[in-house]
Every structure is written in structure tokens, then in C-alpha cells.
Chains A and B, each alone.
Chain A
Amino acid sequence: MNIQTINRLTPAETALVEAYTAQVGELPGDGAVIGTRDRLLDDLKKSGLPTRRVEAWHYTDLKSLLRNVPAAAPTVSVDAIAPLVGDAQLLSVLQGTASEFVAIDGVEIAPFAAALSDGSAAAGLVALDKDDAIGKINGSFVRDGYSINVPAGTSVDAPIEIQAVHGAGQVHTRFPVTFGAGSNATIIERHQSATGEAAFVSTISELVLEEGAEAVFIILQQQGADDTHLGQVRVKLGRNAKLKLFVVNVGGKLVRQELRIDVEGEGSELTLRGVNLLGQETHTDVTLVLGHNVPHTNSTETFRNVVFDRAKGVFQGMIRVAPDAQKTDAKMACNTLLLTDDGEFAVKPELEIFADDVICGHGATVADIDKNHLYYLESRGIPERKARAMLVNAFVAEIVEELEDEKLVEALEGVISAWLEKHA
């Protein structure tokens, strides 16, 4: 029964293919890059967008969910917005193109388009596996972004904010960031819609932490109510490196956030936190594939999700412990408040363990607000509506507080409160 099915293109797939044909002449890149782009698009055309039959996309059938893709509109004009925290150093990407920027002391920064033009980016434009639709789309279309290198031993005090602002159309960005040995920096990657018109965004960040580097990386996705966001973060953690990765989703209509993390150095530590606030008709999928590939590494992953309205949320979290990765300590938790009967949430936390001397666990819960908690507040004279708001806020604030940096905590709590006020 091995009938090779020929992929019949959906309107969205057709739009992607047409957008590529229309743009390919003006996309930056040397021969090698263009060759890679062609291959990736061809691959996408053959395999089509993933359906629920593809295990990694089980709850996000991209083929049927992605109804259409707007045409690329690189000339739409948008302006930079105020940074999340006052003292942040801004790197703007406006409608997919890196703007002029003020040099940051001690940090090497270059527009990603330069790496495409000189071909040095070609090797990185790969799909991680045959089901990596984001890798294929982004690799075909990526136009710009920033390559950032925090040299060894450098400490960057103020946070760096990569600010991707867009209007309607398509935006494809990439951010390779290297934290050199012993370096220390905080980077915020923000995706924001300026106009609220439907946009299609794909973005890949490639984080490399070398020996002893310590980094805080925050992804804040605040796209418009009609936007598609296909994001991917590829992480390599070196020896004794410490990464705090925060992912906050408070926007978009169709969102897939992939975290592909490889822990490759002994003694390294990953703290991964996520907050997903889902309202209206949003479909938000956070998929984590975390490989503990060497002995003596630690990680904790905590995700908090709140589902309002008719939203649908997905969390897939796979922890994979390689055969020799003894003394791995990995703990994952995914807690969801499902506040309406019209919404839904699907969780698939996976453990794949090939070493014996490990402590690995995961927990997942889905429920409404605890009646006892509500009663406790109401019995103190707080009206139900307010009591519920307080409890929801506390549920997610707990996660944000782990950032420790007061300014960042306050700023993110502000974003969350504003969202909750609008939706609750």
C-alpha cells in the first residue's frame, strides 16, 4: 500500500510558492544561499505543510489551519516603538529589514542580510529534520535580521532589545547570537504588530552559549489578532553555561513556537519559563524538544497557560536523555487554567530516556480556577470578577518573577496585566 501521494497544494501553499517566485530575484544571497533557498522551497512544495498525521504537528495541523498567506510587502512602512525597559539598547527590524542602529559597546553586530549576501549564512539555512516546516519556510524566505556576537569575557550591563515591528505582509527574520566564553548579557526579542493588519511572520533565533557564558533571553510575541507567527529557537549550551530562556506569547492568531534545545556541555544549566495567554480564536502551540546529550546537566521547564474565549492551546514538551548522559536532572511542568468551555488545551509532555542514573519528571495539569481559592478571596469581600483576575494574575506572575531583574519583571507584568484587562 505504498502509494506515493502527490501533495496537492493548498491556497496557503500556493501563495508561498508564488511569493517565492515573485521575490527570489531580490532576496539577498550568493549562489550557495540561493541554491539552499531553492532546495528548501522545493522540499516544502513536495512535502506540503505538515498535517496532524505528522507526530510533531499532531495538534497543529498547519495545512488546514493556515488558510492563506498574504503577499510579501517589503515596502510597508512602520516605526520603531518604545523599548520594553527604559535603558535597553535597541536593534530594530522594521518590516523584516534591519534598520540603522547605534553601536553597542563591546558587542559585534551586523545585519543578517550581509551574511546572506556573502554566503556565510548558507550553512545555517537548514531544516533540522524532514518535518521542520519552520526551518524550510524561514530558510527559503529569510531577508534580514541581526547576527550578534558577545565576545568572550564581555559583560553587557543594559539589556539589548531586538525589536521586530511589522505591518501587513510577510516578514522572515533570523537572529544568530553567540555568547562567548564567560560572557554575560540579557537580550529581549520582541515581535510586535504596528497596524493590526494580517501578517505572516517566520523567525529563527540561533543561540550558542560557549563555556561558562551566562545569558538571559526573553522572547515576547505581541503580534496582531490576525497574524501568523512561526518562531523557532535553536539553542546549543556549552560547558558550565547558564541560560534563562523566557517565552511569553500574548498575541497572534496562529502561533507555533518551537524550542529546539541541545544541552551539550557538562555542568550546564537551563531555566526555561513560558507564559501563554490565549484569547479569542487564537491557536497557540509551544513545542519543546530538549536534548540532554552529556552527563551532569540540569534543566527545569515551567509553562503556565491561560485559555479564554474560544482559544486553543497546545504544549508539547519532549525531554530526551542520551545514552551516556548520566546524572541528568530535568523537571518539566505545564499548568493550564482553562477558563471557558469553548476553549481547549492539549498537552503532550514526553520523556525519552536512554540513561539510567537520572532524575527526570514531568507534570501537567488542566483545570479551572480552584473554587477554594476563589472562596477565600470572596469571603474577604473581594467581588468574584476581581478575585478571578487576581488569581489569574498570580498564576502567571509567579513565573515572570523568576527573572529576578526588577525592571524586566515589572515591564513583563505590565504587558501581562494590560493583556488580561483587555481580555478577561
Chain B
Amino acid sequence: MAAVQETIDQVRQIDVDQYKYGFETVIEVDKAPKGLSEDIIRFISAKKREPEWMLEWRLDAYRRWLTMEEPTWARVAYPKIDFNDVYYYAAPKNITGPVSLDEVDPELLRTYEKLGIPLREQEILAGVQTSKVAVDAVFDSVSVVTTFKEELKKAGVIFMSISEAIREHPELIKQYLGSVVPTTDNYYATLNAAVFTDGSFVFIPKGVRCPMELSTYFRINEKNTGQFERTLIIAEEGAYVSYLEGCTAPQRDENQLHAAVVELVAMDDAEIKYSTVQNWYPGDAQGKGGIYNFVTKRGDCRGHRSKISWTQVETGSAITWKYPSCILRGDESRGEFYSIAVSNGHQQIDSGTKMIHLGKNTSSRIISKGISAGVSQNTYRGQVSINRRAENARNFTNCDSLLIGDKCGAHTVPYIEVKNSSAQVEHEATTSKISDDHKFYVMQRGIPEEEAIALIVNGFVKDVIQQLPMEFAVEAQKLIGISLEGSVG
């Protein structure tokens, strides 16, 4: 046990204090008064210059929300959230409508530099042509800048903030917004529908393969603000898009609220690949502060032969409550979920997926890797449901958990419901610590323990890392390293 103890100690020392993105950017902000009421919603809607129908949509959601109860079934414990003690709208002050990069507050740009976000087009252009990334950056509540808009437009791709889209493409918004995650869906999704302030909108027309990776960076900066973004991605017949979101927040003692909704729609033969690198502030070593992350993500494989793939690397947040799901409606549609969830310190993660098989010959694959260290709790919660009419459905699920230290917990809660005999459903889950044999094997070749553990953990999560777009795989690997610093390289 001696060697293991060493690792545990090292993990304990780390890092939650070393949160790399824990800086705060001082810029002027425009805030709505604290609290939540119909007036606040009218204020947000007015600020966004939204049409009347949008305001009604929000108010409807708000009234519904008032009748709902906070869900308690997840394995996360936190003091009751006072939803009236939150700022629902905060925007960097000198931003009015879409701007070119040059007009952005230099302070803000420095923030992005610190974040390492490839905002500047020239920086990206310096790289290989094919690895271009278009970025939409959301700072507190508003989308600050969207790059590469023109070039995307040539391909017919619409990539803009959702506030712009509500004004410029109301017909698309009316048709698709809330069609995957209805306003009545769950407590946090309904709250989001009432108060969402910005987010990204992507529309890939028929037959278009989006010429570059699309990316959104979310950052909560202002104190006591909640961030409620809403993302809507539509891939028409035969379209393809790969989309990545990243998230960071400054270090604060208070908990901050984040309740996002992401909706994906894939028509016939379309494919959407959605990757997340979530690195919100996880709180300090005593479990103080950190982001409460309550997210509803759902993809609708509406067309035949469509495919939606979720990949997530979850290393941040004090609380993660997130279940990216796929509704496999079209025949031969496919859903995938690849997840790495790393919890350390006092973090609590309750995450997983739902695969709802409705169409014929649908298939789904779930690979989930949980790593818990410190005194954290890490839960995989997933559902695979095969409808009675879903002929020849196929599912494979694999959830592995790795425990580092004896004070943390790893839990697996899969729900499998099969109503058609032609279905083939397999589920397997394991929980263990890093095998002494494996470690010994690596170390006896002269590799120090630290590196040995790093190698083994990298091997453990390899299946998922491989699913990330190449540009972000490296970043994700580093993130995992930082989150587990001390035990992992």
C-alpha cells in the first residue's frame, strides 16, 4: 500500500487550488437587477430586441417553471439554490450588436488569450488550412464575437449567436427551438427557456459539409451571475458539422449557476458531432465555490441514416448534472456517447446519457470513463430504451470507473429497457483502482511512478480521446493532466 499512499497524498495536495483559468477580467458590465420575475424576463427580451412571440415563449416557460419542483434524484448534494439571488443578465458594456474583432474590448481579448482560445483568425490561418476553427465566444450572458462568418456564409452555413438568429431567421427558430427539448422538459431546461441570454445557432443546409470546425467558448465572469445559454444546431439532409464547446469561469467563493440547453436536429443522412471540454471552476480544496452545472443536452436523429455523436471531457464544476441524449427516430440512425468525467477535491458528477431507440435498425454506443480522486463522487447514470417498434436495435455500453484514493466514490446506475426481441443490448461496467500489476509492469521498465500512472490513465481514457477533433484532443489530455496533477504527470 505504500506506493499507493504516496499517490493518494499527491492527489490530495493538488490541485483544485491550481485552477488555471481562475482569473477575473475587470470590464464594465451591464447587469439586470438581481432576481427572477416576469419583469426581468421582459427586460432580457427587450435588451435582446426580441419579437413579441419570443417574449411570450419565455413567459410561458417561466409560468410553467414556477409550478415545477427541483429534481432530487441525482447523487449530488448542495445547499438549496436561491434563484432570486442570481443576476440573470450581465453583458460586457460596450458591446452593441455584432462587432469585428478589432472593436472588442482589448481587456476581453486578453482574457481569451489567457484562455488560449484561437480567436484571432490570423493565428489560425498560420496553421494548416484544414484545421481552421470558427469561434463564437459567449462572455457572461452575451455572444461577443463570431469569427469566420463570411467564409461560412459562402458555404451556406449559418453560424451566429442565437439572439441574432431570433432576429434574422425567425422562421428557423420558430420551427426548431424547443422541438427537441420542449420548454416543459425539466426544471432547469424550463428555467433556461425563460431566461436564456445567448448561445450559438448553427444551420447547415442540405448536402453541405461544414468547411471547418465550429466552436463556442463560454465564460462566466461577473459575480453572482448565472449563465443560461441555449445552443441550437440543425443539420439538413446529408449535412455534416463538427462542433466544440469549451467553458471556463473565474475562481470565486460563491457558487455560480449554469443551466444550459443544447438541441441538435439531424435530418436524413446528416451527421452532427458535438464535443465538449467542460472546465468550469470546480471550487477550492475545501469545496468552497465552484460552478453548479445543470445542463440539458439532447439530439434528435430525425432523419433516416442520421448520426449524432456526443463527446465530453468533464473536468470542472462543483456539481455536474448532465445527460447528453439521443432520440433515434429515423431508421438506421445512430447515436454515440463518449465521456471522460474526472472528479477531484469535493466535486460531484452525476452524468451519463439516454439512448432512445424508436426507428428500425438503429444503433447506439456508449463509452464512459469515470475517474474519481480526492473526496469526490462520480456517478454514471444512463438509460437505453428499445421501443416496441424498434426492430433490430443494437446497443453497446461500457462504463469503467477508476478510483484514486479511498475517500472518493464511483457509482454506476444504468437503466436498460427492452421491448423488442430483435434487439441486442449489451452493458458492462467495472470499477477498480489502477492495477498494481499494470503499474509494476510499466515501472520495471524504468518509468517513474508518476509517469506510469499517467500512461495508464491515458490508456484508460484513450477510447474517448480518440473521438475528439484532433485540435482538441491534445487540450483535453492536458486538462485531465491538470485536474489530476500530482498523480498524473
- Hey, which bits of chain A sit against chain B, CB under 8 A? 1, 55, 58-59, 323-324, 326, 336, 338-341, 343-368
Q: Which of A324, A340, A348, A362 contacts B421 (CB 8 A)?
A: A340
Min CB gap B301→A, angstroms: 22
Within the assembled complex, what's the spacing in Å between the Cα atoms of A366 and B422?
9
Given contacts A1-B69, A349-B412, A353-B401, 11 further A-B contacts (CB under 8 A): A326-B406, A339-B421, A340-B421, A347-B427, A350-B411, A352-B411, A358-B403, A364-B426, A365-B424, A365-B427, A368-B422
Min CB gap B49→A, angstroms: 34
Take A55-B73, A351-B410, A351-B411 as given contacts and tell me if A344 and B419 are in contact as well, using a CB distance cutoff of 8 Å.
Answer: yes
Take A356-B403, A362-B428, A364-B427 as given contacts and tell me if A350 and B413 are in contact as well, using a CB distance cutoff of 8 Å.
Answer: yes
Which of B386, B410, B413, B421 is the most central at the interface, judged by chain A CB atoms within 10 Å of its CB?
A: B421
Within the assembled complex, what's the spacing in Å between the Cα atoms of A353 and B422?
34
Within the assembled complex, what's the spacing in Å between the Cα atoms of A58 and B413?
13
**Chain B contacts with A in 386-416, Cβ cutoff 8 A:** 386, 388, 401, 403-416
Take A348-B415, A349-B427, A366-B425 as given contacts and tell me if A358 and B433 are in contact as well, using a CB distance cutoff of 8 Å.
Answer: yes
Q: Which of A341, A349, A350 contacts B420 (CB 8 A)?
A: A341
Min CB gap B63→A, angstroms: 14
Min CB gap A2→B, angstroms: 8
Take A347-B427, A353-B410, A368-B422 as given contacts and tell me if A360 and B432 are in contact as well, using a CB distance cutoff of 8 Å.
Answer: yes
B414 pairs with A364, CB closer than 8 A: yes
Across-interface contacts of B405 in A (CB, < 8 A): 356
Across-interface contacts of B388 in A (CB, < 8 A): 341, 344
Across-interface contacts of B414 in A (CB, < 8 A): 347-350, 364
B433 pairs with A351, CB closer than 8 A: no
B421 pairs with A343, CB closer than 8 A: yes
A-B contact pairs, 25 of them (CB 8 A): A336-B418, A341-B388, A341-B421, A343-B419, A343-B421, A344-B418, A346-B418, A349-B414, A350-B412, A351-B401, A351-B410, A353-B411, A356-B403, A356-B405, A358-B403, A358-B431, A358-B432, A358-B433, A359-B430, A360-B431, A360-B432, A361-B430, A362-B412, A366-B386, A368-B424
**B397 — nearest CB in chain A belongs to which residue?**
A364
> At the interface, is chain B mostly helix, strand, loop or mixed?
strand
**B66 — nearest CB in chain A belongs to which residue?**
A1
In the assembled complex, B129 has its CB within 8 A of some CB on chain A: no
In the assembled complex, B429 has its CB within 8 A of some CB on chain A: yes
In the assembled complex, B471 has its CB within 8 A of some CB on chain A: no
Within the assembled complex, what's the spacing in Å between the Cα atoms of A50 and B405?
38
B428 pairs with A361, CB closer than 8 A: yes
Take A340-B421, A343-B421, A347-B427 as given contacts and tell me if A353 and B403 are in contact as well, using a CB distance cutoff of 8 Å.
Answer: yes
**Chain B contacts with A in 426-471, Cβ cutoff 8 A:** 426-433
In the assembled complex, B67 has its CB within 8 A of some CB on chain A: yes
Across-interface contacts of A351 in B (CB, < 8 A): 401, 410-412, 429, 431
B423 pairs with A367, CB closer than 8 A: yes
Across-interface contacts of B6 in A (CB, < 8 A): none
**A346 — nearest CB in chain B belongs to which residue?**
B417
Within the assembled complex, what's the spacing in Å between the Cα atoms of A346 and B386?
10
Within the assembled complex, what's the spacing in Å between the Cα atoms of A353 and B433?
11
Within the assembled complex, what's the spacing in Å between the Cα atoms of A341 and B409?
39
A365 pairs with B425, CB closer than 8 A: yes
B413 pairs with A348, CB closer than 8 A: yes
Across-interface contacts of B424 in A (CB, < 8 A): 365-368
Min CB gap B137→A, angstroms: 37
Min CB gap B97→A, angstroms: 40
**B398 — nearest CB in chain A belongs to which residue?**
A363
